[in-house]
Amino acid sequence: MSSKPDITLFFLGASRAIRIAWLLEELQLPFELVASPRASNGLAPEEFKAKIPTKMGKSPVIKDGDIVVQESSAIVEYICETYDTSNHLIPKDPKTRAKVREWIAAAEGTFMLHALAILYARWRIPSAAKEHLPEMESSLSVNVHNDLNWLESELSSPSPSSSGGRTWLVGDDVTAADIMMGFNTEFIFTRKLGVEGGEEWPNVQKWLERVKGREAYKKSVERTGYSL
């Protein structure tokens, strides 16, 4: 285990990289920030991509001494396993850990997958087919609704140690589950990706407000200038 962090975070504006900035603030780890706003086409500017030490050039990426890690879920696991000495963000107990890992996997593999299908349809549909976009969005939104219903039901069920609804996704305190899931949930609502139709997810909204009110999250937003 490396005990002395030497972390650089490559941070593209309005992106998943906020997960990593929040995590680093949560653990009070010092880091160098290499940040860039998006180009006018919504992508990462070429000059910024050239600085990122990976072939993909996507954000987030971290460099910690001699290791470079990409993919936000892998970065979260690496940082927690290396620097979260109290193991509170990915708890040691196998059952709690499995639940945290379930959300880490779901953030990209389920929620982002389904939300991005809608965003890519908006971006890429040929103009000759544009009239079919509302129908496409509506059929793709079924997946997003199912995902949010799952999140809503988890947040409505009692946490292991209290009988009320839960404050955080797993257990009584913030874990890597909240840190991974916060971004995609905000992204889905802000970009209106499959959430139209009158259905509401009140516990999801309350949890998202708690995420935004968390001190370490606010610090990460302030330092990076993150805004969706």
Ligand X SMILES: N[C@@H](CCC(=O)N[C@@H](CS)C(=O)NCC(=O)O)C(=O)O
Classify residue 28 as left (phi > 0), alpha (psi -120 to 50) or beta.
Answer: left
DSSP structure string for 47-61: HHHHHSSSSS--S-E
CA distance 121 to 160: 40
Residue among 60 and 91 whose Cβ is closer to ligand X: 60
Contact predicate 18/212, CB 8 Å: no
Binding-residue pattern over the window 33 to 62 for ligand X, x denoting contact by CB under 6 A: ----------xx-------------xxx--
Shortest approach of ligand X to residue 165 CB, angstroms? 28
* Interacting residues with ligand X between 94 and 113 (CB under 6 A): 108
Residue among 46 and 135 whose Cβ is closer to ligand X: 46
Among the listed ranges 11-19, 80-88, 123-131, 165-173, the one in contact with ligand X (CB under 6 A) is 11-19
Structure tokens at 72: 């936000």
Shortest approach of ligand X to residue 45 CB, angstroms? 8
Shortest approach of ligand X to residue 134 CB, angstroms? 25
Q: Does 116 bind ligand X (CB under 6 A)?
A: no
Q: Does 186 bind ligand X (CB under 6 A)?
A: no
Residue among 71 and 186 whose Cβ is closer to ligand X: 71
Q: Does 166 bind ligand X (CB under 6 A)?
A: no
Convert 157-194 to b/e letters by CB count within 10 Å (16 or more is b): eebeeeeeebbbbbbeebbbbbbbbbbbbebbbeeebb
Residue among 13 and 171 whose Cβ is closer to ligand X: 13
Q: Does 12 bind ligand X (CB under 6 A)?
A: yes
Residue that has been written with the tokens 């069920």 in this structure = 157
CB atoms within 10 A of CB 102: 15
Closest CA to 227 of 32, 38, 33: 38
Q: Does 16 bind ligand X (CB under 6 A)?
A: yes
Give the binding site for ligand X (CB under 6 A): 12, 15-16, 43-44, 58-60, 71-72, 108
